[in-house]
Amino acid sequence: MRVQTQVTEHLSTLQEQLKLNHMFLQRNISTLKSGVYNHYPTAVTLASSYSSYSSQFNPDNQGLYIRPGVTMSNDGLKFFAINEYSSNNVYEYDLTTAYDLSTAGTTATDSFDPPNSYAGDLSFSPDGTNMYLVTTSNNRIIQYTLSTPFDISTRGSATTYDPGINVYGAKIVNAGSTMFTQSYSSGTNLTLTKFTLSTPYDLSGTVTNNGGITLSASTIGVTDVRNYGGDWSEDGKQFIHGTITGTNDLFTIDFATAYDLNSTKTYNVANAQGRPGAVKVVDNGTKMIWGDETASVFRLYNI
């Protein structure tokens, strides 16, 4: 009788633990779906200048060209970078301290060469199971599905999407249903284009071009708009971008209506240290990361 009672109590404890585990799992799934883990959930406010960084990573002549796309995993323990020239590789680095680039390993934990040349930008879906690369040699966006989030060694075969326009940066937002691209002409005109996806985060489904806008550098308040990348807030109300020449080389464009390129716009510009490459907002909108072409290092800044 005593043994039976102990077994019953043990089973009851296990059942309670299973219930708690199930609740924890469901809460995490719900949190992921709500976009809490998105690096750039809403608009950020730039300071007037960024002259000091919180951490940096020196690739030590690993063949990396500093300007193209960079980003990080949601936990801040992985850093990803593109080499546009030579090997054209995508690199993954592990960090021992979250969002501290100085703790990155001296060599990449993994890398691969995408199918097209001149890779210029990269991003992930919020859950880290989809990676997107922009290749500027033929204006394509390449999607990889990862079986393990933010682990590029677990990528499947590539899906290549042709947007039919020039593209130097791309970002999927709005829970996977909206994609924005950016391109430039002559350094003085920035074009932003909106696409809708029939299947969230999936470029193999129907992707529809909804049109775009072209803004002059003078309208934005900068002298040049040339660069890779750029980033969009998940709520579709802000675009952030860096420029490689001139002054006031970091800017945001705020849209009065979410995901509406034709809505009323306001602009904010800031001075950035060195020559910023493709800019990404990370850590729930509290930090920015880019490659500084002048110093040949990757740097993280507190917004």
Q: Do 71 and 16 fall into the same domain? A: no
Q: Which of 113, 122, 57 is nearest to 85 (CA)?
A: 113
Number of H helices, E strands in the chain: 2, 21
CB 237 within 8 A of CB 266: no
Q: Provide the domain limits for residue 9.
A: 1-34
Q: What is the CATH number of the domain that holds 121?
A: 2.115.10.20
Average pLDDT over residues 34-63: 82
Report pLDDT for 63.
Answer: 54
Residue 15: the pLDDT is 58
pLDDT at 13: 53
According to DSSP, residue 149 is labeled: T
Domain count, the chain: 2
In a shared domain, residues 90 and 176? yes
Count other Cβ atoms within 10 Å, centred on residue 14. Answer: 10
101-138 pLDDT, tens digit per residue, is: 999 987 777 676 666 656 789 999 999 999 999 988 88
The whole-number pLDDT of residue 179 equals 98
Question: Do residues 27 and 54 both lie within one domain?
Answer: no
> In sequence order, which residues have a C-beta less than 8 Å from that of residue 172 and are 6 or more positions away?
123, 125, 132, 178, 179, 197, 201
Cβ atoms 213, 188 nearer than 8 A:
no
Query: 21-35, 86-100, 120-134, 171-185: lowest mean pLDDT where?
Result: 21-35
- 3-state class (DSSP) for residue 49: strand
Q: Above 50 in pLDDT, residue 222? A: yes
Same domain, 155 and 8: no
Structure tokens at 25: 């799992």
Q: Distance (Å, rounded) from C-alpha 204 to C-alpha 167?
A: 18
What average pLDDT does this structure show over 201-205?
97
| Higher-scoring residue by pLDDT: 16, 178 | 178
pLDDT band at 31 (very low <50, low <70, confident <90, very high): very low
- 3 and 56 in a single domain? The answer is no
Note the pLDDT tens digit of each residue in 247-285: 668 999 999 999 999 999 999 999 988 888 889 999 999
**What's the burial of 218, exposed, middle or buried (CB within 10 Å: 0-12/13-18/19+)?**
exposed
80 shares its domain with 161:
yes
Contact at 8 Å (CB) between 228 and 169? yes
Q: What is the DSSP string of 259-301?
A: T-TTS-EEEEEEEESS-B-S-EEETTTTEEEEEETTTTEEEEE
The lowest-confidence range among 24-28, 90-94, 167-171 is 24-28
The reply to whether 10 and 98 lie within a common domain is no
Q: What is the pLDDT of residue 18?
A: 47
Whether residues 61 and 16 fall in one domain? no
Say yes or no: 65 and 203 in one domain: yes
User: At 88, is the pLDDT very low, low, confident or very high (cuts 50, 70, 90)?
Assistant: low
Overall average pLDDT of the 52-76 stretch = 82
If you average pLDDT over every residue of the chain, what do you get?
85
Q: Do 229 and 203 share a structural domain? A: yes
Check whether residue 22 and residue 44 sit in a common domain: no
Closest among 62, 66, 96 to 81, alpha carbons compared: 66
Q: Are residues 137 and 149 in the same domain?
A: yes
pLDDT for 26: 39
| DSSP strands (E only) in 75-139 | 78-82, 90-94, 110-112, 119-124, 130-135
The per-residue pLDDT for range 228-244, each reduced to its tens digit, is 999 999 999 999 999 87
Question: Which pLDDT score is estimated for 24?
Answer: 35
pLDDT on residue 243: 87
Q: What's the confidence (pLDDT) of residue 181? A: 98
The torsion of the CA quartet 33, 34, 37, 43, rounded to 10 degrees, works out to 140
Percentage above 70 pLDDT, the chain: 80
Strand blocks (E) in 169-237: 169-173, 178-185, 189-197, 207-216, 231-232
CA distance 224 to 72: 27
For 19-55, give one letter per residue: b (16+ CB within 10 A) or e: eeeeeeeeeeeeeeeeeebbbbbebbebeeebeebeb
